[in-house]
Amino acid sequence: MRVHCTADYVVETTEAHPRALWLGRILAQTGFREVDEQLAAEDTKIARFPTRMTLTAVRQYEGGPAMKDIVTVEVRNVREGTLDAKTFVRPAEYREQKPQFAVPGVTSP
């Protein structure tokens, strides 16, 4: 089955806080190597702290209607300080999952 996908990723930033306060990547990973490499390269160009990120993705499966998803992440309160290391301990039931992409007629593993 053929699918046509497009996506726009808009990142709004501020100089009020250093970029280094944001731990890790700003731009999401998709699970598609070529796309993730391009996103990683763009991520390194973001020099200021992100305050709002909006991903708009449109996909259309052959013969079907276009479907649009919009995801927005907004940072509203940033405080610098010391946190207890226990704050970052993962719960025992935590499990990391790769992004899931639904395709009509295909069952996820």
The pLDDT assigned to 101 comes to: 58
pLDDT digits (tens, 9 = 90+) for 61-96: 888 999 999 999 999 998 888 989 988 899 999 988
pLDDT tens digits, 2-18 = 888 888 999 999 999 88
Q: How many angstroms from the chain centroid is the CA of residue 108?
A: 21
Least confident stretch, 12-21, 45-54, 94-103:
94-103
Q: Are 80 and 64 in contact (CB under 8 A)?
A: no
Contacts of 102 (CB under 8 A, 6+ apart): 108
Reported as a single tens digit per residue, the pLDDT across 15-40 is: 998 898 888 888 888 777 888 899 89
pTM above 0.75, yes or no: no
